[in-house]
Amino acid sequence: MVKKLSKRQSAVLDKLFNGEQTTEQILEKNGVNQQLYNKWHSELAFTDEFERRIEQLHRHSRLLIARYSSLAAARLVSLTESKSGETARKACLDIIDRIHNTLASRQETVNSRQNAEGLGQDSDPVSITPELAEKILAALAQ
């Protein structure tokens, strides 16, 4: 039988995940020493709740990034027209890097699915050829 969290454990977790204080400050204010806190981490109920809350924060972070990604992309594209040549160059390189990372991520997803289905994987890594990079830079320069 899985033991439930105590009120004290719940209170500490609430403050850890919602507060502005450091872990040490939270533990001290709640009368929890490091040894007890470490012991809590060996308890299934505590670690499950701790991990659940971390995953919840990660999901929230991904949502925020997804929500503002088109705004960030538009801003990055606008920087390619900067009066500062260095800013424009860095924006172009960042766009190329993001395209490459997106392609690589998609290829990993395809490979993962193929592996799960028992199919052969594409062993060629996704890359941007110098010719493609040149075309992208030319398009962004217009």
Q: DSSP letter at 2?
A: P
Which long-range CB contacts under 8 A does 7-15 form with residues at least 24 apart? 8/32, 9/40, 9/45, 9/46, 9/49, 12/37, 13/46, 13/49, 13/50, 13/53
Which tens digits make up the pLDDT trace of 27-47?
999 999 999 999 999 999 999
pLDDT score for 92: 85
Of residues 110 and 78, the one with the higher pLDDT is 78
Q: DSSP letter at 80?
A: T
Which tens digits make up the pLDDT trace of 87-120?
988 988 888 888 888 888 888 888 888 777 776 5
